[in-house]
Structure 1
Amino acid sequence: MIGTMARKPVAREAVLDAFESLLIEVGERAATLDAVAGRAGVSKGGLLYHFPNKEALISAVLHRLDELAREDLALMAAAPEGAAVYFIRSSLWSDTPMDRAFVAATRLAEVAHEEARRRFANIQQQWLDLLAADVGPDMAKAVRYMGDGLYFNAMWEGGPAGATVERRADVESLVAAVERLRG
């Protein structure tokens, strides 16, 4: 047909979004197929049509993480302020698709899901490579730990509302530290 484009099935995306939300909210064990189907508003058969088992859902979440990380890494590499400042400034929860995929995959890594751990290691290495190109290899890990610490402390203190005025002040303080690292 002229003018038609292939679209992702709405039910498939709803199921994947539901699984991601359940991972974030209640963790991997409670994110059962029944719970996912209920959250997505589909029958269990509808869920199984798109994802034949829980491992297929996990694979799709990790694929989503890879795609979003690839986009984020491209933005980081092209950031006019430099990769380090971009990394620090993007290290507060803002409920973006990347935030959600990242935290959902973190919940998988917490239960020793090896593929999730491997994907995280790959993404972290790519971040580190971009940071090293910006501030040098000796300071790249320090910047990564700054961003990681900022992100996880904001999550522990405020959850999705972690981007408080205090956290934003911390961001600017860390950005100033990055500028001093660049010397």
Structure 2
Amino acid sequence: MPRKPIARDAVLDAFEALLIEVGERAATLDAVAKRAGVSKGGLLYHFPNKEAMISSLLERMDGLAALDIAAMKAAPEGAAAFFIKSSLWADTPLDRVFVAATRLAEVAHEETRRRFAGIQQQWLDVLAEEVGPEMAKAVRYMGDGLYFNAMLEGGAGDTEVKASARSADVGALLAAVDRLRD
């Protein structure tokens, strides 16, 4: 029986999932290999060490953030409205990689912190083009608050009620953004 091909992305996906679920310390090479369904040697073929996996995860984050920033710039409703609307936890690849990378930042991984700062600055720059630099920070904080609260509410419960409340929150924040533009 031929050997199952080793998928680099499957290993990276397993690393991302373990970071989210159990944190950086428990996301060992052995745990990642087991989660990905590959041998440790197969994992090491693609990633010689944990830092190589982290580097690839950060590259994934940068790529997904670049797509998000491009969509933000092209949004017909404007960058600020796009940012607010897209700030709800939706379990997207960008959401997942951000949470995984946050687990790295929690343990003071400096490159992760540097990359997050760069992405946040890019968001601010795009927002500032539309609403000015001071208001750009307010919009970013609105989005950060929505994201954080939606992520925390992602557990069990009446999802229709939560969705309705989040929709009302988004509407109120979009109205506030309109006032900022005036």
TM-score, length basis structure 2: 0.91
AA paired with 2:176?
A
Give CA deviations for 1:6-48 in whole Å, capped at 9, x if unaligned. Answer: xxx8610100000001111111111111111111010111000
Equivalent residue, structure 2, for 1:5:
none
Structure 2: give runs of 5+ residues left out of the alignment: none
Picking from 78, 82, 89, the partner of 1:82 is 78
Seen in structure 2, the aligned counterparts of structure 1 residues 62 and 165 have a Cα distance that, compared at 3 Å, is same
Q: Give, in angstroms, the shift of residue 101 of structure 1.
A: 1.0
Seen in structure 2, the aligned counterparts of structure 1 residues 160 and 61 have a Cα distance that, compared at 3 Å, is farther
AA paired with 1:85?
A
Q: Give, in angstroms, the shift of residue 108 of structure 1.
A: 0.6
Question: Is 2:122 the partner of 1:126?
Answer: yes
Equivalent residue, structure 2, for 1:167:
166
Conserved? CA contact 2:75–2:82, under 8 Å: yes
AA paired with 1:21?
A
SS in 1 for 2:80: helix
Conserved? CA contact 1:76–1:83, under 8 Å: yes
Q: Give, in angstroms, the shift of residue 154 of structure 1.
A: 1.5
Equivalent residue, structure 2, for 1:177:
176
Equivalent residue, structure 1, for 2:42:
46
AA paired with 2:83?
F
Give the share of equivalent positions with the same residue, in percent. Answer: 77
CA-based RMSD of the aligned residues comes to 1.7
Alpha-carbon separation, structure 2, partners of 1:10 and 1:53 = 16
Equivalent residue, structure 2, for 1:3:
none
Kindly report which structure 2 residues correspond to 1:30-179, keeping only aligned pairs within 5 A, or say none. 30-158=26-154, 164-179=163-178
Which portions of structure 1, spanning 4 or more consecutive aligned residues, are displaced by more than 3 angstroms?
159-163
Seen in structure 2, the aligned counterparts of structure 1 residues 128 and 75 have a Cα distance that, compared at 3 Å, is same
Conserved? CA contact 2:19–2:103, under 8 Å: yes
SS in 2 for 1:59: helix
Structure 1: give runs of 5+ residues left out of the alignment: 1-8
Q: Give, in angstroms, the shift of residue 160 of structure 1.
A: 9.9
Q: Give, in angstroms, the shift of residue 171 of structure 1.
A: 1.1
Seen in structure 2, the aligned counterparts of structure 1 residues 132 and 100 have a Cα distance that, compared at 3 Å, is same
SS in 1 for 2:89: coil
Conserved? CA contact 2:81–2:177, under 8 Å: yes
Conserved? CA contact 1:22–1:30, under 8 Å: yes
